[in-house]
Structure formats: structure tokens, C-alpha cells
Amino acid sequence: MAQQTHDVVVIGAGPGGYVAAIRAAQLGLSVACVDREKVLGGTCLRIGCIPSKALLESSEHYAAAKHDLKAHGVNVGEVTLDLPTMMKRKEAVVRQLTNGIASLFKKNKITAYEGRARIAGLGKVIVEGAERTEITAKHIILATGSKPATIKGVEFVADRIGSSTEALSYPEVPEHLVVIGAGYIGLELGSVWQRLGAKVTVLEYLDRILPGMDLETAREAEKVFKKQGIEFRLGSKVVGATVEGNKCTVVVEGSAPIVCDRVLVSVGRTPNTTDIGLETVNIVPDARGYIPIDGHFATAAPNIYAIGDIVRGPMLAHKAEEEGVACAEHIAGGYGHVNYDCIPGIVYTHPEIATVGKSEEQLTEAGIAYRKGVFPFMANGRAKALAQTDGRVKILADAKTDRVLGVHIIGPRAGDLIAEAVAAMEFGASSEDIARTCHAHPTLAEVMKEAALAVAGREIHM
Ligand code: NAI
């Protein structure tokens, strides 16, 4: 067995792990990063954020060419779909970015190991790859990510009943796609296939979509998606699904079974915390599989840290990245910090939905008095020019101090617009600070300014 020694070994090369590795290397530590996949980047780059965004972009172009360009005076003749080319482009985007991480590792002198890593006691990791390697390291960072969750009665069957991984690569457009779960994945990938021509039915257990998100914003989103042709059946508990030939049958409690071509199960994700040797160092995951940590990502075992999807908080790539940086800085210098109040969440549908901070429901529950400013994209010149006027910006500010506590956007490029709100909140801004900041005209960002003005009831263009 080969023996290697490093200061830090990171298990997992997703956004949490690879960023932690780079930051630790920048701080002068000798770093190893292990991943069982040949391709670096984890779920996000290989089978998550990046390929889904590539398909969202392509399918948006297709839908625009088919339905929207005419209104701009652009006639393109018959619009046809070349799905293999769309998929090839998606794969090329993934390839470029995953190769990019390999180059970053090289530049930062990080040693990448390919193989399955397991902790084998304090300061010891065994990698089972082409050869067996024992890595000795003072610090171990666990960043093993998550996998799609399943529900009782629904087993994955090839690519007929599957997760987002399969839905990123269907060989043809399903005639009827049933999506189980109206969360991030269900809405994004449901949108992709709906735009490409599938009938999409979303079955959601709760009486609302996007649980956890500001309710008013989620209801507005539901209306917009319905208008686009996505069918929602809320309050639907899926209890079974089967495949016969090319057809799937989905069983919903209390209503007739639904027959369709493919089923996308998007009911959340489960932390990857089994089979990584936690028992050798007495780390016990909680009932849902998460690894308990303290405020500095330290687990119950000395010098073993955990970040990203395997610890509490939202399962988001950028949250994992922030934790990776803070964890590496803590190891190298004793200090690292993540502001969990300022982590944005974005659903990359059309229009996009983006939020940061507290929802109205959370503020009410916490007994915090707030003022609310809302401004619609309908009254914004740039949105009109883009012909994308669905949606609004909502700013929630503390009733006494005017400090911005939450911003919720549904509308064109909401995912980019939210950055202003995140920066404002990070600096402890008041809604008046945003309202008094000059926003260029004509831009979508003016809706943010108007919503901030609306907190004090003095919006200009309404
Ligand atoms: P999710 O947690 O966002 O939504 C799952 C939905 O499934 C919930 O609405 C839940 O009520 C519903 N559900 C659960 N059991 C059900 C049942 N038996 N029948 C019907 N509905 C049921 O999970 P999702 O969409 O799978 O995403 C997983 C994770 O990936 C999320 O934590 C998300 O943060 C992350 N993600 C983030 C993206 C982004 O940042 N744009 C994109 C894709 C995923």
C-alpha cells in the first residue's frame, strides 16, 4: 500500500471540497483532495447545477424561437429541435468546467487522488483506487455531498423512473413527464422538458410549491408556471410508481393513477455519510444522516471537519463553497466565518426566483415587526423592452431600524439581481440605503430601488 503525507486531506471534490482544498493550499498547506469520480467538480459540475443551467439556457432559446421572436419582428421559419446537439453542448460545458478544476488543482499544487476514500482512524484516510493509498494528514475535511432521496414505494427503474441525473439526459422529449416534488429540481428540470414540448405534471405533497420560500413569492411563481402550461397537483402524496415497457404508472393517495412516459423523483437529497469510515473515529450522524458540527465545522472527532450538504443548512453549492473557505481559514489561522443570514437561493426557471434572508412567515413567527415594499417588473422600462414583465421585487425591512431583513424576487434575471440585496444585507444596509443608491436607467435593477422606495411608500413609477 502506498503511503502519503499531507497537512490536509479533503474527501470530495465538489464545490465544498475543491474550494476548501484551493483555499487551504493558498494558505500554504500541503493539500490532497480525493474523489471517487475521475471528473472533478462533484454533483454541481457533473450532474447538477452546471448541466441543468446549460439545458435551461438551450431550452429557453428554443422556446423563445418558437413562441417569442415573432413579436420582436424576427421570423425564423420552422423551428425544430436537435436534442442530441443540445445534449452535446451541455456535455461540452461540463467538460470545460471540470477540466478547469483539474487545472486549478495543478496551479495550486493540490494532489488529486481518484478512488473511494474512507477514514481509518484519526489523521488517516485510505483511498481505494487503481492502487490502495494510505494518506496521513493532520486535518481531514469531509465534503462528500448528497444523493437523490427516494420515497417509499417508488424505486428508480433505469431512466424511466429516475432522479435529476437521468432527467439531464433523456434520449427523447417525453410526451408526458411526471415530476414528484415541486422544489428546486422539479421546477427547473420540469421547465426544461415543458419548453421542449413535454406535458409536465408536478405532484407535490404540500399545498404549495417551493417549501421554505416566502409564500407570497411562491404563489406568484405557481401562477406564472401554470400560465406556461405546467400542471400542478398540490396536496398529492405519491405512494407508488411502476414501469411496464415504456410506460410508467404513478400512484397518488386518494386519486386515480397517472400514466406517463417518465418520472422525475425530486423530493430532496440525502447526505452521503455512510461508508466513509465515520465509525472508526466515533462520529455519529443524526437521524437524517447529517454530521453534527460546531460553529467551526469541527465534528466530534479531533481535527476532522465537515462542510456542505452533509451538515445542517441549505444544500446549495455556494453555501458549501463559503464553508470550504471558512473551514480552511480556520484550520490555517484559527478563524473563519460564514454569514448564514446572507445566503441567497435561486431557482433558475423563467422567470427566475431569487431570495435572501427572512420570509414574511419567518418574521411573523419570530414576532419581528417589518415594513414591506413591493414593486412589479410590469412598471419597469427595461422589463417592457425585454417583454419579460412577469414578477416583482419584495423587500422586507425592520419596522424600527429599517434594516433589510429579506428580499424576494421573481422576475427576469432575478438570480443576478439578488446579488445587490445580498451585498446590501452583508453590509447591514437599510431599505433607505438601497433607495438612495443611484441605479442606472434603464435596468431591471431599478425595480430593486423602487421596491426599496416602496418600503416608505414613496415609489416613483407606480
Ligand atoms: P426540495 O427539497 O427543493 O423539494 C422537494 C419537494 O418534494 C418538496 O416540495 C416536498 O414537499 C416534495 N415531496 C417530498 N415527498 C413527496 C411525496 N411523497 N410526494 C410528493 N411530493 C413530495 O428538493 P429537490 O428539488 O429534490 O432539490 C434537492 C436539493 O438540491 C435542494 O436542497 C436544493 O437546494 C438543491 N438544488 C438547488 C438548485 C439551485 O440552487 N438552483 C437546483 C437544484 C437543486
pLDDT in tens, 232-242: 999 999 999 99
The three-state secondary structure class of 429 is coil
Q: Distance between CA atoms of 171 and 46, rounded to whole angstroms? A: 18
6: containing domain: 2-148+271-338
328 within domain boundaries? yes
Q: Does residue 155 form part of some domain?
A: no
pLDDT single digits (tens) 388-422: 999 999 999 999 999 999 999 999 999 999 999 99
Whether residues 60 and 117 fall in one domain? yes
One DSSP character per residue, 159-191 reads TTEE-HHHHTS-SS--SEEEEE--SHHHHHHHH
Q: Decide the pairing of beta strands 370-376 and 392-398.
A: antiparallel
* Three-state SS at 392: strand
Whole-number percent of the chain with pLDDT over 70: 100
Strand pairing report for 258-260 and 247-252? antiparallel
Q: Is residue 461 part of a domain?
A: no
Strand boundaries in 253-288, DSSP class E: 258-260, 262-265, 269-271
- Whether 174 and 296 map to the same domain: the answer is no
Q: Is residue 154 part of a domain?
A: no
Q: Indicate whether 71 and 110 sit together in one domain.
A: yes
Ligand 1 lined by 351 (C-beta under 6 Å): no
Q: What band does 159 get if pLDDT is binned at 50, 70 and 90? A: confident
Is the CB of 143 inside a 6 Å radius of any atom of ligand 1? no
What does the block give as the cell for 284? 455519529
Which three cell numbers, joined as nine digits, stand for 131? 492502487
Pocket perturbation via mutation, ligand 1, pick of 209, 269, 416 by most ligand atoms within 8 A of CB: 269
- Whole-number Å distance, alpha carbon 267 to ligand 1 midpoint, is 5
Residue 329 lies in a domain: yes
Do 79 and 111 belong together in one domain? yes
Is 156 inside a domain boundary? no
* Residue 176 designated active-site: no
- Report the number of distinct structural domains present in the chain: 3
Tell how far the Cα of 148 is from the centroid of ligand 1, in angstroms: 9
The CATH number of residue 83's host domain is 3.50.50.60
Residues 255 and 112 in one domain: no
Decide: 255 and 172 in contact? Cβ < 8 Å. Answer: no
Considering the domain architecture, whether residues 318 and 364 belong to the same structural domain is answered as no
- The domain boundary, picked from 267, 282, 310, lies at 267
CA 15-288-282 angle, to 5 degrees, is: 85
In the listed set 251, 267, 283, which residue is the last one of a domain according to the structure? Answer: 267
Distance (Å, whole) CA 340 – CA 225: 29
Q: What is the pLDDT of residue 72?
A: 95
What is the CATH classification number for the domain harbouring 387? 3.30.390.30
Of 221, 242, 267, the domain-final residue:
267
Q: Are 214 and 306 in the same domain? A: no
Pocket test for ligand 1, best of 50, 267, 353 (most atoms within 8 A of CB): 267
CB atoms within 10 A of CB 274: 11
Q: Which residue's CA lies nearest to atom 23 of ligand 1?
A: 268
- For residue 314 and ligand 1, the question of a CB distance below 6 A is answered with yes
Q: Is 404 in the pocket of ligand 1 (CB under 6 A)?
A: no
276 in Cβ contact with 9 (< 8 Å): no
Question: What's the whole-number mean pLDDT along residues 175-189?
Answer: 98
My answer on whether 9 and 140 are in the same domain is yes
Tell me if residue 141 falls in helix, strand or coil. strand
Question: CA-to-CA distance for 186 and 204, rounded, in angstroms?
Answer: 10
For atom 41 of ligand 1, which residue has the closest CA?
A: 347
Is residue 142 domain-shared with residue 15, that is, in the same domain? yes
- How far apart CA 222 and CA 195 sit, in angstroms, is 16
Which pLDDT belongs to residue 359?
98
| pLDDT given for residue 417 in this prediction | 98
* 429 and 307 part of one domain: no
Does any domain span residue 460? no
Together in a domain, 237 and 279: no
> Could you tell me if the CB of 348 is within 6 A of ligand 1?
yes
Q: C-alpha angle 400/401/406, rounded to 5°?
A: 100
Q: Report if residue 462 sits inside a domain.
A: no
Specify the pairing of strand 247-252 against strand 238-244: antiparallel
In terms of domains, do 305 and 279 share one?
Answer: yes
Ligand 1 atom with least separation from CA of 152: 18
